[in-house]
Structure 1
Amino acid sequence: MAQTNKLKIFNDPIYGFIGTPNELIFNLIAHPYFQRLRRISQMGLSFLVYPGAHHTRFHHALGSMHLMRQAIRVLRFKKVEITEDEEIGLLAAILLHDIGHGPFSHGLEHVLVLDTNHEAISLHFIEYLNKEFNGALDTAISIFKGEHSKKFLNQLVSSQLDMDRLDYLKRDSFYTGVTEGNISSERMITMLNVYDNELVVEEKGIYSVEKFLMARRFMYWQVYLHKTSLVAEQLLIKVIHRAKQLLEEGEALVSSSPLLFFLKHDGSINFDDETLNLFSQLDDVDILAALKSWQSHSDFVLSKLSTMLLDRNLLHIKIKNKPVDDQLILSKKDWVKSNYKINDKQLEYFVFSGIISNRAYNEKHQNINILRKNGKLTDVAKASDHLNLKALSQTVTKHYVCYPKESV
């Protein structure tokens, strides 16, 4: 394992120089499991819309750790006790919080591994690394799982105002060029405090929280749930489903060994050390290489969908505020069946509908509390004189339908 014999720094376009605070953090970053994050796209297929969005989970993890170091300094300055062991635990937990992401991040979550989310897989990775590092991550695991007696430690890692969100909003805004999503992470951090074991925001920071929540809402509808990103992601999911179906039918598919393993497992997967190691070999490269191979496959559906993604010749998509008219779907299916010469089951790969929803703020789960000057706590949605914040706590649902452009 690599050893730190001199200062190690990363030059980050968002924050400037990010240093490695101790040997454990350096060795975690140097580990092959973490280095894999260089090959996992932070924003899935969003680069098909925003050409600059090629940053990775590696960038985001380092940025989140950098912000965590700032938060620790601010809270200690305000006389909040954070021991050296807790500091190491916080830094390790935030550094590794996304290590369980699969190819294209959220794009294929619950698709390659059906019943396990990336947080659960991250925990498997952290527990494995803890054994390798002789228990050095015990505190990190306690914080990550929300079992530490100091509740605010977990809130710094996972809450509605954690270092994860403070980094990805600012970072994704920078790489996409969508300036409306830009937030002042540093300003937000200076407003943090701890009251009754809970992470809170001082009253003078209320407008920064408003800006943060509004930016989050904007980024979700304009970027994360952009219609082109959405249809591309759905096509990628359809590709994987078709590949799994063909394998079940005995068809031969060219792919990497790790990808083939997960394509053949449709049920529950036990993440033992061997499976975890296979997952650690899986990244965006496996999927892209498979698509390049599958575009020449004899199966029309797999070939067509793979080519669509590689050439960015995607399906047409409409997003509406109300359910899609059944007659529209039927007419599009008739067109596809006639022109593509495929059966009814295969139609679902080219004409389909779905629902997307977003809620920028959840008042009922890990809400953001404002610490008033009189010592009282008030939920940010009630404390704000901005009526929009109350609206942001409502779930907004939209409906979409996808079908070939030629049928328009």
Structure 2
Amino acid sequence: MIIEDRVYGRMEVNEPVLLELLGAPSMLRLKRISQFGVPDKYYHFKNFYRYEHSIGVMLLLKKLGADLKEQVAGLLHDVSVLAFSHVGDWIFGRAREGNEDYHEIFHGKFIENTEISKILDKHGFIPGEISDLERFSLLDSKVPDLCADRVDYALREFKYRLNPAIVETCISSLINFDGEMVFNNQESAYEFAKNFLELQFGNWASLETSMRYHLFSTALKVRK
């Protein structure tokens, strides 16, 4: 299969397990779940979707030479995300504690109790290993380290809105150094960090974003 990705361009994916997972109902639902959670009508920036981001994480891991198990984990890392993404953290109270990880609490159970588990078993993967994201250093790591999850959604915002000019340079400068994602030059590292911080304070952790999440989650709770 040839995938045309808006960030990484044209890439080929031939691994049977990845191809089957891409068409699984639990993955396809991510096509309808926006990255930011709050619908475009009520958000101040244009959304992209979790399915696109999940594929992007897989492709970035592939570019960095990650093994197939880590690519599978990357493709599935958001499969358990709630219908309104991180708005769920506000509904269930975790955002007020500074946490946006509600879907990660039941990530393993989601994989175990859906068709994803059967697909993994069929191709010789252990679901419990795939769902344990901390096993995969290129996919998942603590801030301020780089990881495929954070780098991909940052690159997508650079590409679609903030600073498209630096995307190609950032991608070409990323390398796998002993299982850790790093930049191979200071200039690219600086540009990525500077723009990442602009996203952090201008979008993800901004007062306006917090208020939109608060108001939208309150509306959902009232509707319920």
Give the TM-score range, shorter chain.
0.7 to 0.9
Deviation at 1:228, TM superposition (A): 3.5
Q: Where does the alignment leave 5 or more consecutive residues of structure 1 unmatched?
A: 1-7, 73-81, 149-153, 245-408
> Given the alignment of the two structures, is residue 21 of structure 1 paired with residue 14 of structure 2, yes or no?
yes
Give the match's secondary structure for 2:7: coil
> Given the alignment of the two structures, is residue 235 of structure 1 paired with residue 209 of structure 2, yes or no?
no
Partner of 2:25: 32
Partner of 1:11: 4
Deviation at 1:138, TM superposition (A): 3.3
Partner of 1:333: none
Taking the aligned partners of 2:77 and 2:59, their CA distance within structure 1 comes to: 14
CA contact (8 A) 2:33 2:50 kept: yes
CA contact (8 A) 1:68 1:91 kept: yes
Q: Where does the alignment leave 5 or more consecutive residues of structure 2 unmatched?
A: none
Number of residues paired by the alignment? Answer: 211
Runs of 4+, deviation exceeding 6 Å: 113-116
Q: Which amino acid aligns with 1:199?
A: E
> Given the alignment of the two structures, is residue 120 of structure 1 paired with residue 137 of structure 2, yes or no?
no
CA contact (8 A) 1:181 1:216 kept: no
Partner of 1:178: 162
1:221–1:10 distance in 2 versus 1, CA, 3 Å: same
Taking the aligned partners of 2:78 and 2:170, their CA distance within structure 1 comes to: 19
> Given the alignment of the two structures, is residue 91 of structure 1 paired with residue 76 of structure 2, yes or no?
no
1:90–1:222 distance in 2 versus 1, CA, 3 Å: same
Partner of 2:117: 130
Q: Which has the higher contact order (CA 8 A, sep 6+)?
A: 2
Partner of 2:147: 162
TM-score by length of 2: 0.79
CA contact (8 A) 1:100 1:120 kept: no
> Given the alignment of the two structures, is residue 212 of structure 1 paired with residue 197 of structure 2, yes or no?
no
Deviation at 1:44, TM superposition (A): 2.4
Q: Which protein has the bigger helix share?
A: 2
Higher deviation after alignment, 90-99 or 116-125: 116-125
Please list the CA deviations of residues 105-164 of structure 1 after superposition, one character each: whole Å capped at 9, or x if unmatched: 11222525979712233322333422344263635742652575xxxxx11110131111
Q: Which amino acid aligns with 1:37?
A: L
Taking the aligned partners of 1:147 and 1:112, their CA distance within structure 2 comes to: 24
RMSD between superposed Cα atoms in Å = 2.9
Please list the CA deviations of residues 265-314 of structure 1 after superposition, one character each: whole Å capped at 9, or x if unmatched: xxxxxxxxxxxxxxxxxxxxxxxxxxxxxxxxxxxxxxxxxxxxxxxxxx
Please list the CA deviations of residues 207-243 of structure 1 after superposition, one character each: whole Å capped at 9, or x if unmatched: 4333322222110111223443332211111123324
Deviation at 1:101, TM superposition (A): 1.2
